[in-house]
Structure 1
Amino acid sequence: MKSQLSEPGPDSVSEAPATPGVGTGAPPHPLRALAEPVRGRLAVAVGLQTVAALAGVVPFIAVSQIADRLTGGSPADGDALWPLVTLACAAGLLALACGTAAGALAHLADNDLQLTLRRRLTRHVGRLPLGRLTDRGTGEVKQAVQDDVSALHTLFAHTLLDVVAVLTTPVLALVYLFTVDWRLALVSAVPLSLGVFLFSRAMAGAASQMAEFGAALGRISVAAVEFATGIAVFKSFGRGRKAHERFVDATEGFADFFSRWVRSTLVSSTAAVLVVAPAMVLLLLSMVGAVFVTQDWMTGAELVPFLLLGPAVAAPMGVVGPRIQQIRAGQAAAVRVTGLLHTPTLPEPATPALPDGHHVSMRGVSFSYDGHTDVLRDVDLDLVPGTVTALVGPSGSGKSTLASLLPRFHDVTAGTVTLGGADIRDVPATELYRRVGFVLQDVRLLRASVADNIRLGRPDATDEEVQRCARAARIHDRVMALPDGYATELGTVVTLSGGEAQRLSIARALLADAPVLVLDEATAYADPHSEALIQDALSALAAGRTLLVIAHRLSTVRSADRIVVLEDGRVTEQGRHDDLLAAGGRYAALWEAQRTAGPAEADNGLSPLPAPADEDRAADDIREGSAR
């Protein structure tokens, strides 16, 4: 998500403080805070644009003076006209030079600002807790990094200078017209006054409407990302139509909202545009001016500047609508970007600690998403190195939440989670993820080559190591069938099915070689053929590692060393499969319910856990993969 712009030089924008306004009273508006690093250059650009706008009026004034002298009673004096011609030409060149310089400076300042903001956002997002990042949704992050930063580009590089130009030119024009004839100058101001009145009616309640506008676009962005990433899963179950329903709902909701907004403002906004249209203004001034001339209230030469500059007086109202919309969009974008930048990051330990071994211990663990309602309560659990622990229980019991605490997707509300005797909050993130890996149902692949996707956990891995892990994950043959093999870029023309993406993520986990793994039910969305291959890959992955498995189908964890039953965020039972069945408690009831609902599923023999023979085969795959 980084900008493709070049590195800024020594004089380029510096990173803005994360908490602007501290120690200076009330914090500034997010828009001003984000623009602070380039405020000086933007101010200079505004000054140049002001000069350009003022200079742009001078040629019209000079032409008016030339017309007055040409239509005077005495013959025109060439020596008196040439200075006015020179002034008009010089002012035109000055307007062109200053306008060009203002645009270039504003774009350079915006260029640096975009680069800085995208760097800040990517660094900040990289420090967010993974659980909180998942809660926000990739669509929201994409909107901030791409769409919102682009909206700020429009505001700073274009709208700001446009607003300066459309406000400065009419002021000078109107001042000059009052020096010619104050009565017709007042007539020139009538369209502007009507336009302001009508447009203010059209924009009534625009603040809340723009907020809803931004929210609706955000929903479309989120739905689009979900549609793109989830289509393979839905199609594998023959529910391709379902995949796009949320996206369609979001777009239709936006269309309905926007249609209502347009209908409510159509009459007043159209009238506002018509009364300030150059043709209408010119018609008005021509009619009134003709009366003034025929009544000898002014000369024909004095009418000329009104015909030249009169339309410019009302010009701002002709473009104020789009400009105000761009300003509001920029303000809303600044609020969203600032909100994301101020999202609390994962606290880094003041005194880093390194684990001594891989024993995982949870003591008195409680967790709440909102700070009020506990999802987990007083959980005690040990994961002995080399064993498999399965989390089971009804939906909403807290299985995924408990598993997410080990890779520190969230921090516990109360209690401790330790790895090798060290509180995981004291373990640096890089060290934690060397020791704790995870394979989830929802696989995310980068828009990069297959090899780079597998190398994500170990960028320095050799091609041989990548291929060895791919063979063990049962994805090597599929990769070799791609147009460029391991160099094939994913996310463009080539896409992988849900099961293939899952096996690729398993190869990634194999290469990372973390001794502790959190394993969500990776076969939940796979078809039978893919499921069998994924089970083989999981057997290779699980061999010799400590596993914490989230299990939805109890038949897949019968051989686990310990099965932990969660209900309402508490551990109600734990033990081996046979012992829990003999106890006749909650686990036995869940087992009987699943067995009755689907005997074939309960006895399908598929398991993500390695049987002894699987361990031997997995070890052989890892050792001999490069030779096959």
Structure 2
Amino acid sequence: MKSQPSEPGPAPAAQDTEAGGAGTAGTPPPLRALAEPVRGRLALAVGLQAVAALAGVVPFIAVSRIAGRLTAGSPADGEALWPLVALACASGFVALVCGTAAGALAHLADNDLQLALRRRLARHIGRLPLGRLTDRGTSEVKQAVQDDVSALHTLFAHTLLDVVSVLTAPVLILVYLFTVDWRLALFSVVPLLLGVFLFSRAMAGAAAQMAEFGAAVGRISAAAVEFASGIAVFKSFGRGRKAHERFVRATEGFADFFSGWVRSTLVTSTAAILVVAPAVVLLLLTVMGAVFVTQDWMTGAELVPFLLLGPAVAAPMGVVGPRIQQIRAGQAAAVRITELLDAPALPEPATPALPVGHHISLRGVSFSYDGHTDVLSGVDLDLVPGTVTALVGPSGSGKSTLASLLPRFHDVTAGTVTLGGADLRDIPATELYRRVGFVLQDVRLLRASVADNIRLGRPDATDEEGERCARAARIHDRITALPDGYATEVGTAVTLSGGEAQRLSIARALLADAPVLVLDEATAYADPHSEALIQDALSALAAGRTLLVIAHRLSTIRSADRIVVLEDGRVTEQGRHDDLLAAGGRYAALWEAQRTAGPDETDGVPHQRSAPVGADRAADDIREGSAR
């Protein structure tokens, strides 16, 4: 048995222990529930592994019996050795077959479970509100689909069988040793009991230490992200050394904490590992066996099984740390997967309704993320077909939240949002997304061909239709310059810039041809050249459609048909640009603040430039489209 390194218990599982909400004693309900479809096959694998472990002990027992026959000195006993030899060979074969079958069965069951879980997760994630995915990012989904399912693989396909093996074989060994000599058998149990005692002492207070371990790792992760994302800013101001100071402090703090933890448990944890080490157990049994033999309390042949099998009695303690870590990781993974599967899906209407027209109306709309604090309160608003409505206001006023209600990223807490007279909650999702599209700042492209990325909203579109939309989005020339043109796979040999990705998403929205569009400052982070191209593409996209624009630069929405000012989740002003300036209210104050701040700063956020192109041109195009 391989000894484990001297460390204070399975610390790396600290975060998982807390997340799992359950100890290692017993299986928590989430784990049982997830394993239910393959429970029968796992039980059979456990049974086969137990048989394999027991059969693996028999050859050693047979060898000890052979040693006894040989030391008896009777020539006639030689003929009696062959049955023992046959028993040893047969048991070894049974152990091999059953162990192989158990491993294969557990892996097949686990493979089916992984496939079923990933399919369940994919179906359920597809039904989750888009707001949950955009708010929490993709890390939660990635962890559940990839990392957590892999943790269950380790638990079911490996750890489960290992635990059965290390617990089953010592029981048979101990029973047999007691039949040989109960006194020496008691001595073989001493290392196991001493190892349990010392290990429990080493783990005393581990819960608090593990919590601190997780917090320390979290501080390192946060500092690493800050270091990676902020180093360019620090260097640009000649403070390159400052960029890594917080990261160094976090790592040094973790090292100090972990070193202190190791020092406080070093003696007991090292002792726990040493007393169950096979060499130590073998030395103990050899010394005590020699005493027994010299005192004629047992024969030399009776000592053989203790030397062969005795070290395996304490073997479970030698692997308890890693196995506990794997069990805790599996428990925590099951809890996270279950939480994601239990996340409420976007309710589908019991009696579907189809909108008549594209007029959008918000009445008494309130929304809260946590169920307590309203981000929006009592919003009344109409979006007339063929018009541009701009949302403005200070940061945190609720602009993005209000815009996210139209494509139903979230459902309202109170009030109603209707499209063509039908409540959004009564419109089937497929019908809603045919009518409402969105272009956001954070563009997500699939790892697929450029053509497939454009055809995402209309998979049945022809190549000619996709190319026409790419031309309108001012991205066709860039695509044709790629190695394989429209067949080039995004994210492999070629990576598009932010502005190029934005224009590709606009081409996607053009092809989807949704009559209602939500634009969230699509040019906020573009360079001047890309911004001009994006504005041209947005003009083509906006023509003839109902547009809701989240605007940070007020100069870009002067020609909007309606400007809506939000403050603290409430509509405080609405009207056209000139009327709002004449009113001298909040909008006029925001306009004056941006005008005096200069062209590169808006609402405290630096921007590339502030050309009044996008929504002005979009509004003109919409009006021309409506007139046509």
Identify if the C-alpha distance between structure 1 residues 355 and 486 changes in structure 2 by more than 3 Å, giving closer, same or farther. Answer: same
**Aligned counterpart for 2:611 among listed residues 599, 605, 613:** 605
Match of 1:453 in 2: 453
Alignment of 1:117-156 (within 5 A): 117-156=117-156
Match of 1:99 in 2: 99
1:193-237 CA-to-partner distances (Å, cap 9, x unmatched) read: 111112222333555666777788899999999999999999999
Match of 2:504 in 1: 504
Output the CA distance in 2 between the equivalents of 1:417 and 1:332. Answer: 39
Match of 2:493 in 1: 493
Identify if the C-alpha distance between structure 1 residues 557 and 237 changes in structure 2 by more than 3 Å, giving closer, same or farther. Answer: farther
Residues 562 and 575 of structure 2 are in contact (CA less than 8 Å); yes or no, is this contact kept in structure 1?
yes
Q: Shift of the alpha carbon at 1:133?
A: 1.8
Residues 439 and 509 of structure 1 are in contact (CA less than 8 Å); yes or no, is this contact kept in structure 2?
yes
Q: Which runs of 5+ in 2 are unaligned?
A: 1-26, 603-608
Residues 214 and 332 of structure 1 are in contact (CA less than 8 Å); yes or no, is this contact kept in structure 2?
no
In the alignment, structure 1 residue 589 sits paired with structure 2 residue 595: no
Residues 479 and 486 of structure 2 are in contact (CA less than 8 Å); yes or no, is this contact kept in structure 1?
yes
Q: Shift of the alpha carbon at 1:134?
A: 2.0
Match of 2:13 in 1: none
Identify if the C-alpha distance between structure 1 residues 535 and 336 changes in structure 2 by more than 3 Å, giving closer, same or farther. Answer: same
Alignment of 1:556-595 (within 5 A): 556-595=556-595
**Does the residue aligned with 2:345 lie in a helix, a strand or coil?**
coil
Q: Shift of the alpha carbon at 1:613?
A: 10
Residues 540 and 618 of structure 2 are in contact (CA less than 8 Å); yes or no, is this contact kept in structure 1?
no
Match of 1:196 in 2: 196
Output the CA distance in 2 between the equivalents of 1:175 and 1:214. Answer: 42
Identify if the C-alpha distance between structure 1 residues 563 and 503 changes in structure 2 by more than 3 Å, giving closer, same or farther. Answer: same
Residues 482 and 488 of structure 2 are in contact (CA less than 8 Å); yes or no, is this contact kept in structure 1?
yes
Identify if the C-alpha distance between structure 1 residues 257 and 511 changes in structure 2 by more than 3 Å, giving closer, same or farther. Answer: farther
Match of 2:353 in 1: 353
In the alignment, structure 1 residue 64 sits paired with structure 2 residue 64: yes
Output the CA distance in 1 between the equivalents of 2:308 and 2:464. Answer: 76
Q: Kindly indicate whether structure 1 or structure 2 has the higher relative contact order, using CA contacts under 8 Å at least 6 residues apart.
A: 2
1:260-291 CA-to-partner distances (Å, cap 9, x unmatched) read: 65555444332222111111111111111111
In the alignment, structure 1 residue 420 sits paired with structure 2 residue 420: yes
Identify if the C-alpha distance between structure 1 residues 259 and 39 changes in structure 2 by more than 3 Å, giving closer, same or farther. Answer: farther
Match of 2:162 in 1: 162
Match of 2:270 in 1: 270
Q: Quick check: 142-151 or 251-260, which moved more?
A: 251-260
**Does the residue aligned with 1:71 lie in a helix, a strand or coil?**
helix
**Does the residue aligned with 1:179 lie in a helix, a strand or coil?**
helix
**Does the residue aligned with 1:77 lie in a helix, a strand or coil?**
helix
Match of 2:529 in 1: 529
Match of 1:179 in 2: 179
Report sequence identity in percent. 88
Match of 1:547 in 2: 547
Match of 1:365 in 2: 365
Output the CA distance in 1 between the equivalents of 2:224 and 2:490. Answer: 18
Across the aligned residues of Structure 1 and Structure 2, the Cα RMSD in angstroms comes to 3.3
Equivalenced residues, count: 593
**Does the residue aligned with 2:438 lie in a helix, a strand or coil?**
strand
In the alignment, structure 1 residue 320 sits paired with structure 2 residue 320: yes
Output the CA distance in 1 between the equivalents of 2:482 and 2:207. Answer: 51
Identify if the C-alpha distance between structure 1 residues 616 and 415 changes in structure 2 by more than 3 Å, giving closer, same or farther. Answer: closer
Output the CA distance in 2 between the equivalents of 1:503 and 1:257. Answer: 49
**Does the residue aligned with 2:75 lie in a helix, a strand or coil?**
coil
1:422-453 CA-to-partner distances (Å, cap 9, x unmatched) read: 00000011110110000111111111111111
**Does the residue aligned with 1:457 lie in a helix, a strand or coil?**
coil
Aligned residue identity for 2:99: G
**Does the residue aligned with 2:72 lie in a helix, a strand or coil?**
coil
1:447-467 CA-to-partner distances (Å, cap 9, x unmatched) read: 111111111111111111111
Match of 2:476 in 1: 476
Aligned residue identity for 2:585: G
**Does the residue aligned with 1:175 lie in a helix, a strand or coil?**
helix
**Does the residue aligned with 1:441 lie in a helix, a strand or coil?**
coil
Match of 2:606 in 1: none
Output the CA distance in 2 between the equivalents of 1:518 and 1:243. Answer: 38
Identify if the C-alpha distance between structure 1 residues 407 and 555 changes in structure 2 by more than 3 Å, giving closer, same or farther. Answer: same
Output the CA distance in 2 between the equivalents of 1:497 and 1:230. Answer: 20
Aligned residue identity for 1:609: A
Q: Quick check: 494-503 or 90-99, which moved more?
A: 494-503
Q: Quick check: 76-85 or 230-239, which moved more?
A: 230-239
Q: Shift of the alpha carbon at 1:507?
A: 1.0
Residues 544 and 622 of structure 2 are in contact (CA less than 8 Å); yes or no, is this contact kept in structure 1?
no
**Does the residue aligned with 1:273 lie in a helix, a strand or coil?**
helix
1:66-124 CA-to-partner distances (Å, cap 9, x unmatched) read: 00010114235222100000000000000000000100110011001001111111111
Identify if the C-alpha distance between structure 1 residues 249 and 104 changes in structure 2 by more than 3 Å, giving closer, same or farther. Answer: farther
Aligned residue identity for 2:81: L
Output the CA distance in 2 between the equivalents of 1:545 and 1:440. Answer: 17
Residues 563 and 574 of structure 2 are in contact (CA less than 8 Å); yes or no, is this contact kept in structure 1?
yes
Aligned residue identity for 2:401: T
Identify if the C-alpha distance between structure 1 residues 225 and 486 changes in structure 2 by more than 3 Å, giving closer, same or farther. Answer: farther
Output the CA distance in 1 between the equivalents of 2:146 and 2:217. Answer: 13
Aligned residue identity for 2:501: A
Output the CA distance in 2 between the equivalents of 1:433 and 1:177. Answer: 72
**Does the residue aligned with 1:298 lie in a helix, a strand or coil?**
coil
Output the CA distance in 2 between the equivalents of 1:38 and 1:262. Answer: 40
Output the CA distance in 2 between the equivalents of 1:220 and 1:348. Answer: 42
Match of 2:466 in 1: 466
Residues 140 and 222 of structure 1 are in contact (CA less than 8 Å); yes or no, is this contact kept in structure 2?
no
Output the CA distance in 1 between the equivalents of 2:601 and 2:324. Answer: 60
Residues 216 and 250 of structure 1 are in contact (CA less than 8 Å); yes or no, is this contact kept in structure 2?
yes
In the alignment, structure 1 residue 29 sits paired with structure 2 residue 42: no
Q: Shift of the alpha carbon at 1:532?
A: 1.3
Output the CA distance in 2 between the equivalents of 1:516 and 1:205. Answer: 59
Match of 1:341 in 2: 341
Q: Shift of the alpha carbon at 1:256?
A: 7.4
1:484-506 CA-to-partner distances (Å, cap 9, x unmatched) read: 22222222332121111111111
1:285-329 CA-to-partner distances (Å, cap 9, x unmatched) read: 111111111111111111100000011111111111101100000
**Does the residue aligned with 2:167 lie in a helix, a strand or coil?**
helix
Output the CA distance in 2 between the equivalents of 1:510 and 1:237. Answer: 42
Aligned residue identity for 2:404: S
Match of 2:17 in 1: none
Residues 539 and 618 of structure 2 are in contact (CA less than 8 Å); yes or no, is this contact kept in structure 1?
no
Identify if the C-alpha distance between structure 1 residues 531 and 352 changes in structure 2 by more than 3 Å, giving closer, same or farther. Answer: same
Residues 154 and 326 of structure 1 are in contact (CA less than 8 Å); yes or no, is this contact kept in structure 2?
yes
Residues 518 and 547 of structure 1 are in contact (CA less than 8 Å); yes or no, is this contact kept in structure 2?
yes
Output the CA distance in 1 between the equivalents of 2:390 and 2:615. Answer: 10
Q: Shift of the alpha carbon at 1:57?
A: 0.4
Match of 1:24 in 2: none
Identify if the C-alpha distance between structure 1 residues 516 and 233 changes in structure 2 by more than 3 Å, giving closer, same or farther. Answer: farther
Residues 195 and 317 of structure 2 are in contact (CA less than 8 Å); yes or no, is this contact kept in structure 1?
yes
Output the CA distance in 2 between the equivalents of 1:216 and 1:498. Answer: 35
Q: Quick check: 226-235 or 125-134, which moved more?
A: 226-235
Output the CA distance in 2 between the equivalents of 1:225 and 1:323. Answer: 31
Identify if the C-alpha distance between structure 1 residues 132 and 352 changes in structure 2 by more than 3 Å, giving closer, same or farther. Answer: same
In the alignment, structure 1 residue 396 sits paired with structure 2 residue 402: no
Q: Quick check: 238-247 or 551-560, which moved more?
A: 238-247
Alignment of 1:237-252 (within 5 A): none
Match of 2:19 in 1: none
Output the CA distance in 1 between the equivalents of 2:477 and 2:237. Answer: 24
Identify if the C-alpha distance between structure 1 residues 494 and 270 changes in structure 2 by more than 3 Å, giving closer, same or farther. Answer: farther
Residues 377 and 570 of structure 1 are in contact (CA less than 8 Å); yes or no, is this contact kept in structure 2?
yes
Identify if the C-alpha distance between structure 1 residues 614 and 261 changes in structure 2 by more than 3 Å, giving closer, same or farther. Answer: farther
Identify if the C-alpha distance between structure 1 residues 556 and 203 changes in structure 2 by more than 3 Å, giving closer, same or farther. Answer: same
**So what's the TM-score if we normalise by structure 1?**
0.87
